[in-house]
Amino acid sequence: MTSLDGKLDTGAGISVLPLTAVKVLGLKSKTDVWVAGYDGLPTQTPAYVVTVTVAGHTVEALTAIATPRSQILIGRDVLSHFVATFDGKNQTFDLVDP
């Protein structure tokens, strides 16, 4: 198990793992997905299967991609399982499993 800092990204259709975490966990790609960045150009990218726990809530067997970044990016594939309330003024969020 690896603990990481994360960011919520409601604009991301798929979650993004730090590449170092993928290597440390010894994950092998199980599929590939097409990912379009800000320029809209899709790129074929390997994807991995992981179990992610966010704020005490677990999503098992999640398919996610990896990039050389230090934080996990929590996309809509995780957020769609919960009700997320963002308090912009205080920069906090609540995650509730309905």
Partner 1 sequence: MSKLQVHLTLKRAAQELGVHEQTLRSWEKRGLIRMIRLPGSRYRRVPVEEVERLKREMTAPATTTGVEMQPPARDAASAEQARGQAAVVEAGLTNLEAPPQGEYALKARVITVHEPPSIYGVPFDEAALSEGPVVLELDGRPIAALIPPDEYQAFQAWRNYQAWNQAQLAYLQTERAAFQRLLPELLKTHPGQFVAIHDGRVVDSDADERELAGRVISQDWEPVYIQEVRAEPRVYEVPSLEIVRHVSLRHE
Binding site for partner 1 (CB under 8 A): 9, 11-14, 16, 19-20, 23-39, 41-46, 49, 59-63, 65, 67-70, 73, 75
CA angle 21, 40, 29 (to 5 degrees): 30
Q: Cβ of residue 75: shortest distance to partner 1, in angstroms? A: 7
Closest distance of CB 48 from partner 1, Å: 9
CB of 50 to partner 1, least distance (A): 9
